[in-house]
Chains A and B, each alone.
Chain A
Amino acid sequence: MDRTRRMRLAKDVMDRDWADPELDLDTVAAHAGYSRYHFIRAFREAYGETPGQYLTHRRIERAEDLLRTANLSVTEICHLVGFSSVGTFSARFKAWTGLTPSEYRTKHVGRGAALIPGCYAMLWAGGFRSAPGTGEKRNSGEAG
């Protein structure tokens, strides 16, 4: 049971801090008090997928939510959910949902009005972080 509890603590770290691009397997494994290799195996036994797959799916699922509800660009959403490369994000997103982020948004967006002002979504997901490689503050340019 202790092992299961430690796997849950590790999973909760991913559920809580999925937006952090710095969140990697070693950090998560450390929360469980396991070495990386043993952690991956133990996590898969507990939850049926590797921690890497779990974190990716968690981020994709959050991205789906933002694409449906927030008036942010695909690039902004990509960085908000913790991906650093739009190419990787789009590929993973399509592998999981069968659609590119833009196609997904077109299919699911309601009658035009975004539910959540972009700036709120930004704040929830960890504020206005610098985009990788630019070093400058990004802003969605949307009034909240």
Chain B
Amino acid sequence: MIKGLAISTVWVLDQDRAKEFYTEKLGLEVRTDMTMGEGGMRWLTVGSPNQPDVELTLMVPGGPAMDPESAEMVRKLVTKGVLGAGVLTTDDIQGDYKKLKDRGVEFLQEPQERPYGTEALFRDDSGNWFSFTQPREGGLDMDQDWSC
């Protein structure tokens, strides 16, 4: 029986820069930052203080599980900005949008009304895009005709 989602992977170009971005700009906390042995893999995870059982692992493409050519392809896709890394939620989209923007986070879309809530889009420092959403209270607004 699957109990839930614990860790999700975000491919980043540089772990030091990513750590700075996810903590100082987004306000997430570092859960783990350790290197496996001399010159081994660095395991770096972050998460929201509000959600102790879920974290993102900020991984650099490569290592034993990924050949250099594939790693290069992943880096290229991230840099091109075509990969989405997930949805982060907030209970104050307008306030947080302003706060993150003032910290220099690169937004692609200001908060807009959607059937599921109010949503903005931003990128991390590597180029991954995130949805940043305040979910609609009561779930999907089905009174509207959202037929798109």
Shortest beta-carbon distance from B76 to chain A in Å: 6
Spell out B's residues near A (CB within 8 Å).
13, 75-76, 79-81, 106-110, 112-113, 123, 127, 144-148
Shortest beta-carbon distance from A114 to chain B in Å: 9
Assembly CA distance A15 to B106 (angstroms): 12
Contact partner of B145 among A4, A5, A113, CB < 8 A? A113
Question: Which residues, 80 to 126 on A, are CB-close (under 8 Å) to B?
Answer: 108, 110-113, 115-116, 120, 124
Are B80 and A16 in contact, CB atoms less than 8 angstroms apart? no
Assembly CA distance A75 to B136 (angstroms): 32
List chain A residues, Cβ under 8 A from B79.
1, 4-5, 8
How many chain A residues touch B (Cβ–Cβ < 8 Å)?
A: 23
Residue among B109, B110, B112, B147 having the largest count of chain A Cβ atoms under 10 Å: B147
- A1-B75, A1-B76, A5-B127 known; A69+B148 contact, CB < 8 A: yes
List chain A residues, Cβ under 8 A from B147.
68, 108, 110-111
Are A12 and B81 in contact, CB atoms less than 8 angstroms apart? yes
**Chain B residue at smallest Cβ distance from A64:** B148
Question: Which residues, 15 to 73 on A, are CB-close (under 8 Å) to B?
Answer: 15-16, 46-47, 65, 68-69
List chain B residues, Cβ under 8 A from A16.
107-109
A-B contact pairs, 26 of them (CB 8 A): A1-B13, A1-B76, A4-B76, A5-B79, A7-B80, A8-B127, A12-B106, A12-B123, A15-B108, A15-B109, A16-B107, A16-B108, A16-B109, A46-B80, A65-B148, A68-B147, A68-B148, A108-B147, A108-B148, A110-B146, A110-B147, A111-B145, A112-B145, A113-B144, A115-B144, A115-B146
Spell out A's residues near B (CB within 8 Å).
1, 4-5, 7-8, 11-12, 15-16, 46-47, 65, 68-69, 108, 110-113, 115-116, 120, 124
- A110-B145, A115-B145, A120-B113 known; A4+B80 contact, CB < 8 A: yes
Assembly CA distance A120 to B118 (angstroms): 13
Assembly CA distance A1 to B77 (angstroms): 10
Interface of A is mostly: helix
Interface of B is mostly: mixed
Assembly CA distance A5 to B127 (angstroms): 8
Assembly CA distance A57 to B63 (angstroms): 39
**Chain A residue at smallest Cβ distance from B141:** A115
Are A47 and B80 in contact, CB atoms less than 8 angstroms apart? yes
List chain B residues, Cβ under 8 A from A124.
110, 112
List chain B residues, Cβ under 8 A from A110.
145-147
Assembly CA distance A113 to B143 (angstroms): 10
